[in-house]
């Protein structure tokens, strides 16, 4: 006989109760509400959780406080989409209960009922998540299960929880997938303070045995969390590489929270980092992409897809938005490249369905002696795809003006061999150090191209064939976007070509 805890009942009434307590505490800021990115209707959100595709829907579960717009009472919020762009928010999926908060984790589709938790043997959704509690005896994190028989609308906790308990205060964020190579479920989970990722296997999602660990390696100045292990195909589909992604907080490349990745091989037990150039990099070089995780159970032919939280723990609680606080990045299709500069992940944002018409062609030449020229005038949300022929310019790119005194600059600094996004003049300074420039190392032989998605409170940039991703929040005074070509140094012509689009709102 299956053992279950009591079902989560009246979730919609519960969330309605809690939301009512948080309304009216701050002036609404619709001017900052993202139009092509997910944000909850109200209240706090951070990490995405349980990303899974099932029965025609992409599910986004997320860390959520149903009681207010600051971190606390962590539960799983829930939204669904058919295209990764238009999201419909549903009632709280798995609420905090019995003094135990619901931290980050995964959802899998148990097609063959290996867990024995699916009613009548039909495929069901099983969540594997960290339970975080602070009993009198001390803080503790364990791994738990919950099951849904109705496409994620209601969930029942497994009565045998926890299914994995190391009696540790920091042991979290299980990423669970079916691994065909070992014909078993594989869990990738963080030992934060040891700077290790542990691998566990299970035949039934309930009994887990450790098979290997990875780390310490790379950046270790903060805790490790939100690990994800996935196999990434090359752009031509002829080869693949294993990527292990690990969140780091604090101590990331740009300060605060960020995510590094390692490329290598995995044999079902051991992850081995490649010795090739580029085998260690950053999933995003901006300040505002954290705990990105990949989708499970994607339709055949879809490339691995990441989605992250668009914020930084340095200042997340100060973001000037109401009645919500927190949003997600765009979903990103991921491949890998291997070229003269080494190995790297390449990310492409899911945004094309939001384009209005064929867009506007861009072709501009900035003659010697000039340092600025108008390219496009639009309003956010908008998209730009540009390729530069820089001539002898020392640095070059575009400025995104919201008015005469506020802009965000995106460009290439050849003298420093950096790609950058400079938000020092972008608008509100939400906290000390927010108005800053973020940088990524340029690859010598990759092109000077950039793909920009500009929403009301963010700029996502993908450069050099998507091998550099850089996400930054901005809080400009207007929705207006005047794009100007800019450069410093050099005497020859600077050329740019590409296309711009106005984007439809997904709200």
Residues 385, 23: Cα–Cα separation, whole Å: 39
Phi then psi for 353, rounded to 5 degrees? -65, -15
47, 284, 413, 455: which one is catalytic? 47
Which residue has tokens 């701050």? 26
Asked whether 429 and 404 are in contact (CB, 8 A), the reply is no
End-to-end, the C-alpha distance of the chain in Å comes to: 45
* Residue 293 bridge partners (DSSP): 307
Residues 417, 460: Cα–Cα separation, whole Å: 20
Environment class of 144 (CB within 10 Å of its CB; exposed 0-12, middle 13-18, buried 19+): buried
Residues 86, 82: Cα–Cα separation, whole Å: 7
Phi then psi for 30, rounded to 5 degrees? -60, -20
User: DSSP string covering 463-500, please?
Assistant: ETTTTEEEEEE---S-SEEEEEEEEES-SS-EEEEEEE
Check if 120 is active-site: no
In our burial notation (b when 16+ CB lie closer than 10 A, e otherwise), range 332-343 reads bbbbbbbeebbb
Q: Specify the DSSP class assigned to residue 296.
A: B
Residues 406, 403: Cα–Cα separation, whole Å: 5
Question: Which H or E run includes 134?
Answer: none
Asked whether 383 and 355 are in contact (CB, 8 A), the reply is yes
CB atoms near residue 233 (< 10 Å): 15
Phi then psi for 328, rounded to 5 degrees? -110, 155
Strand segments (E) across 66-155? 75-81, 88-94, 100-110, 124-133, 140-148
Question: Which H or E run includes 135?
Answer: none
Cα 195 from chain centroid (whole Å) = 21
Give catalytic residue positions. Answer: 47
């Amino acid at each position: 006989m299956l053992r279950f805890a009591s079902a989560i009942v009246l979730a919609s009434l519960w969330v309605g109760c809690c939301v009512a307590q948080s309304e009216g505490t701050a002036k609404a800021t619709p001017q900052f509400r993202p139009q092509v990115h997910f944000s909850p209707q109200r209240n706090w959100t951070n990490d995405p959780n349980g990303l899974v595709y099932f029965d025609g829907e992409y599910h986004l579960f997320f860390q959520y406080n149903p009681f207010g717009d600051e971190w606390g009472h962590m539960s799983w919020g829930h939204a669904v989409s058919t295209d990764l762009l238009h999201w419909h928010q549903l009632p709280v999926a798995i609420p905090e209960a019995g003094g135990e908060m619901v931290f980050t984790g995964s959802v899998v589709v148990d097609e063959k009922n290996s867990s024995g938790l699916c009613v009548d043997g039909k495929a069901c959704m099983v969540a594997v998540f960290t339970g975080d509690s602070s009993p009198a005896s001390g803080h503790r994190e364990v791994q738990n299960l919950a099951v849904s028989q109705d496409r994620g609308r209601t969930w029942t906790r497994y009565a045998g929880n926890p299914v994995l308990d190391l009696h540790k205060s920091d042991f979290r964020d299980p990423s669970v997938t079916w691994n065909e190579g070992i014909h078993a479920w594989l869990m990738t989970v963080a030992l934060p303070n040891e700077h290790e990722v542990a691998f566990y296997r299970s035949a039934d999602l309930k009994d887990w045995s450790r098979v290997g660990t990875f780390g310490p390696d790379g950046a270790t100045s903060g805790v490790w969390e939100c690990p994800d292990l996935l196999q990434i195909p090359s752009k031509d589909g002829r080869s693949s590489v294993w990527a292990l992604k690990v969140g780091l907080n604090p101590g990331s490349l740009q300060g605060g929270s960020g995510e590094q990745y390692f490329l290598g091989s995995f044999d079902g037990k051991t992850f081995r980092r490649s010795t090739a150039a580029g085998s260690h990099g950053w999933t995003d070089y901006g300040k505002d992409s954290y705990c990105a995780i990949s989708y499970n159970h994607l339709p055949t032919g879809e490339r691995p897809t990441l989605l992250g939280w668009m914020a930084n723990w340095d200042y997340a609680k100060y973001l000037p938005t109401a009645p919500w606080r927190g949003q997600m990045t765009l979903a990103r299709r991921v491949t890998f490249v291997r070229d003269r500069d080494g190995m790297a992940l390449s990310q492409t944002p899911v945004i094309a369905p939001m384009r209005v018409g064929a867009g506007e062609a861009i072709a501009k030449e900035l003659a010697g002696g000039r340092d600025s020229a108008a390219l496009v005038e639009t309003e956010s949300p908008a998209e730009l795809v540009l390729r530069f022929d820089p001539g002898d310019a020392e640095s070059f790119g575009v400025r995104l003006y919201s008015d005469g005194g506020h802009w965000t600059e995106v460009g290439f600094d050849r003298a420093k061999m950096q790609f950058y996004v400079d938000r020092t003049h972008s608008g509100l300074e939400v906290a000390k150090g927010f108005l800053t420039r973020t940088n990524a190392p340029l690859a010598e032989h990759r092109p000077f191209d950039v793909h920009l998605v500009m929403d009301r409170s963010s700029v996502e940039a993908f450069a050099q064939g998507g091998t550099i991703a850089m996400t930054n929040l901005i809080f400009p005074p207007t929705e207006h976007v005047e794009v100007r070509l800019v450069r410093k140094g050099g005497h020859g012509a600077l050329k740019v070509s590409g296309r711009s689009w106005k984007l439809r709102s997904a709200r």
